[in-house]
Amino acid sequence: MTETFKAVLISRDEDKKQSVAWTELSEDDLMEGDVTVAVEATTVNYKDGLAITGKAPVVRRFPLVPGIDFAGTVTTSSHPDWKEGDRVILNGWGVGETHYGAYAERARVNGDWLVPLPDGMSAKDAMAVGTAGYTAMLCVMALERHGITPERGPVVVTGAAGGVGSVAVALLAGQGHHVIASTGRASEADYLKELGAAEIIDREELSGPARPLGKERWAGGVDAVGSHTLANVLSMTSYGGAVAACGLAQGMDLPTSVAPFILRGVSLLGIDSVMAPKALRLEAWQRIATELDHAKLSSIASVIPFGDVLSAAEDIIAGRVRGRVVVEMP
């Protein structure tokens, strides 16, 4: 008899109405791939929340197992880079969007999509960082390539109490930056200061329509919000500064002008974590393993059982989640 395992499955009916249910799958139900992984930990990212609630068209194939990232152990492999027992991480590549994802106890994927779990990190540690933290590191690396050093002046992080923001605050503060954390939750001020934020500002300062140019307040920034917030961040970035943009919590639009770019030489650095080349992924995860203060992971992350993943998806969309949510698999 074929062994089955628990999974979340998103379906859509003839009227294109989406539904989400718990189900039992077997490895025969999984999609094509040359590596099968026993999923030990996953996360609830903002994108996962959008997928499960149907608030945005994240899922582009039905039915689909959601979940965009996981860490676990290889059970079978025909890929030359991986063998049974290898510890691996997956982020992106359309997993949880077009390919069966992490919200199942087994995943079968293309071995080219995997990176090794760094030495000294557990599966839960890796997912406390997760796609959000890996994206934050890609943002920090992009700012470094643009020459944004602590000596240039403060840096701003928007959506600072969220997954990307929390890790970005910790990473940038760890490098010696004066970090200005923007959040809509005043109650999270102590949490953000523990991560290393030097100043806390209310997101209302940035969430309204932006002027073409504002007072120069920071040399760089990490933005996971988009829309008016990103427009304001750009308008207040100092001469020659740069902003790494990776999210759209406020919206996908960018109601700004060319003024910051042509009058102050500001650069907008687009960050894509889904299809990032393997060399960048390897660098990001190795640096996370060595540069992120792992003592802060316990304050950044909360751990929930697999059975709570649907309610956690609702919470993250409603803005009730601080930092990272780690899902511990059975």
Tell me the average pLDDT of the chain: 96
Task: Answer yes or no: is pLDDT of 85 > 60.
Answer: yes
User: In the β-sheet with 155-157, what is the strand arrangement from edge to edge?
Assistant: 199-202, 179-183, 155-157, 218-223, 237-245, 267-270
How high is the pLDDT of residue 168?
A: 97
Q: What is the pLDDT of residues 116-125, one digit of tens each?
A: 999 999 999 9
How high is the pLDDT of residue 295?
A: 84
Give the containing element (helix H, strand E) for 141.
helix 123-145
Q: Residue 257: CB partners within 8 Å, gap ≥ 6?
A: 212
Q: Where are the alpha helices (DSSP H) in 146-241?
A: 163-174, 189-195, 227-235
Q: How confident is the model at residue 299 (pLDDT cuts 50, 70, 90)?
A: confident
Using CA atoms, how far residue 2 sits from 40, 103, 104, 312, 316, in Å, is 21, 20, 16, 31, 35
Q: Any idea what DSSP says for residue 53?
A: H
More confident residue, 271 or 16: 271
Give the mean pLDDT of 172-187.
96
Q: What is the DSSP string of 295-323?
A: GGHHHHEEEEEGGGHHHHHHHHHTT---S
Give the mean pLDDT of 24-38.
97
Rounded to whole angstroms, the maximal C-alpha distance in the chain is: 69
Contact between 88 and 71 under an 8 Å Cβ cutoff? The reply is: yes
Task: Answer yes or no: is pLDDT of 261 > 70.
Answer: yes
Buried b / exposed e over 243-282, threshold 16 CB at 10 Å, is bbbbbbbbeeebebeebbeeebebbbbebebeebeeebbe
Task: Answer yes or no: is pLDDT of 175 > 70.
Answer: yes
What percent of the chain lies above the pLDDT cut of 90?
A: 92
Q: How confident is the model at residue 294 (pLDDT cuts 50, 70, 90)?
A: confident
Task: Answer yes or no: is pLDDT of 221 > 60.
Answer: yes
Q: How confident is the model at residue 293 (pLDDT cuts 50, 70, 90)?
A: confident
**Euclidean distance between CA atoms 173 and 47, whole angstroms:** 26
Q: How confident is the model at residue 296 (pLDDT cuts 50, 70, 90)?
A: confident
Q: How confident is the model at residue 203 (pLDDT cuts 50, 70, 90)?
A: very high
Give the mean pLDDT of 194-198.
96
More confident residue, 130 or 295: 130
Q: What is the pTM of this model?
A: 0.92
Task: Answer yes or no: is pLDDT of 305 > 60.
Answer: yes
**Euclidean distance between CA atoms 124 and 134, whole angstroms:** 14
Q: How confident is the model at residue 1 (pLDDT cuts 50, 70, 90)?
A: low
Q: How confident is the model at residue 56 (pLDDT cuts 50, 70, 90)?
A: confident
Give the mean pLDDT of 302-313.
97
Residue labelled with tokens 């500001």: 266
Q: Which pair of structure tokens corresponds to residue 40?
A: 């030990």
